[in-house]
Each structure stands twice: as structure tokens, then as C-alpha cells.
Amino acid sequence: MPETKRRYFFVAKNTKTDHGYTIEFLNIPQLYASGETYAETVYYSYRVLADFLKQLPKEEAAITAYTLSTIPDNTDNTFYSIVSVPADFDPHHMQTTFTISQALPDDIRKQAAQLSHLVDFGSLPA
């Protein structure tokens, strides 16, 4: 069996605004990122999350206190994702997974279409 490396999971609230996007971490008050494109905002959110995690005590309980607990339902301009963070908190190895409710195939396609219209990846910052 292949060895799995420890990862932590955080719920992110993604909001499309008139000027771009904001990403907030539901279990970490006052930790957020904003940008013009979704890709830029994701990049910044990974950086602020890494900086926050690196300042915590090096014990499992301190980190897991901020991890995944619940995921609210998506709304018109807000959707939720799960950010997967490696044990070393390297923002270059973080990954985002979008959440879509379990439903009939047509409903899943509709949710995916709504999500795709909210997300403008643009280009990553240099």
C-alpha cells in the first residue's frame, strides 16, 4: 500500500464581487485574500493560509482546530471549496477542490455551469 502524506483540509468561502474575488477561510476568522481574477485570489489565499499556519504551535491539535467542520450551501455569487494543505504548509503544493452537492446528473451539470460562470482564472501573478 502506498504511503500517504498528511494533509489538512480547510473550508474556503469564495465570493465573486464587482471588482474580482475574495476568499475567506470559515474556521479562521479575519483570514482572507482578494484579487482581480480567481487564479490570483487563490494564489494569495494559499500564501496567507501558509503564513497563518506556520505561526501556530507545532502540535496537531493547534492546526486541526482550524480544519474542515462543515460546508454551507452555495449561493448566487458565493461558492465553497476545500483547500488541501500539505504537512509542511508549502503554498505551492496546496490544492483547491470545488464542492457540488450530490444530486441528479442534470442538477450536477447545472451547478457546475453556475460555478464555471463565477470563476475567471485569468493568469497567475508573476
For 9, the 3-state DSSP assignment is strand
pLDDT at 4: 67
Question: Phi first, then psi: what are they for 37, rounded to 5°?
Answer: -110, 160
Task: Write down the H helix ranges in the chain.
Answer: 38-54, 60-64, 105-118
pLDDT at 2: 57
Which tens digit of pLDDT belongs to each residue from 66-113?
988 777 777 778 888 899 999 999 999 999 998 887 788 898 888 888
pLDDT at 122: 65
Tracing cell 483540509 back to the chain, one arrives at: 9
- Does the pLDDT of residue 120 top 60, yes or no? yes
Which tens digit of pLDDT belongs to each residue from 17-38?
999 999 999 999 899 999 999 9
Q: pTM higher than 0.75 for the full model?
A: yes
pLDDT at 91: 96
For the chain, the helix, strand and coil percentages under 3-state DSSP, each to the nearest 5 = 30, 25, 40
Grid cell in block for residue 34: 482578494
pLDDT at 3: 60
